[in-house]
Amino acid sequence: MKKVIVSAAFFGVLAMPAWAGDVETLAKEKECMSCHALDKDAIGPAFASIANKYKGNERAEAMLVSTVLKGSPSAGGYHWGTKKMPPPSVRQSVSADEAKALIDWILAM
């Protein structure tokens, strides 16, 4: 029985995404840092600015995940001044799970 549990745990770890537990690495791999920084505005808003703007907003996660997946038009257009998130056709592909992990990480700042 012990071997089965150890094997299951081992293969469970192998099945986890490479970024599990290190979302900052995921943000770098997906080139989010090309436009965003952790704590200062660049081309796009700083992740800390995003967290502050949406703190306490119950709809923030869903809206921001949609923005990451589809670009700004999916969230009703501009939502950060005149800056907008480009559509996925011109940037790295991000899965729904990756988008949720990124947004949860940002909102926790």
Q: Of 11, 45, 41, 47, nearest to 26 (Cα)?
A: 47
pLDDT of residue 9: 44
Distances (CA, A) of 39 to 49, 58, 73, 88: 7, 23, 25, 24
pLDDT of residue 4: 46
Helices (H) and strands (E) in the chain, counts: 5, 0
**Residue 77 pLDDT greater than 90, yes or no:** no
The model's pTM is: 0.77
Backbone angles phi, psi at 90, to 5 degrees: -115, 15
Q: Which DSSP letter does residue 55 get? A: T
**Residue 102 pLDDT greater than 90, yes or no:** yes
* Per-residue pLDDT reduced to its tens digit, 16-49: 455 556 999 999 999 999 999 999 999 999 999 9
Query: Is position 36 annotated in a ligand binding site?
Result: yes
Which superfamily does CATH assign the domain made up of 19-107 to?
Answer: Cytochrome c-like domain (1.10.760.10)
Query: Is position 32 annotated in a ligand binding site?
Result: yes
Query: Is position 79 annotated in a ligand binding site?
Result: no
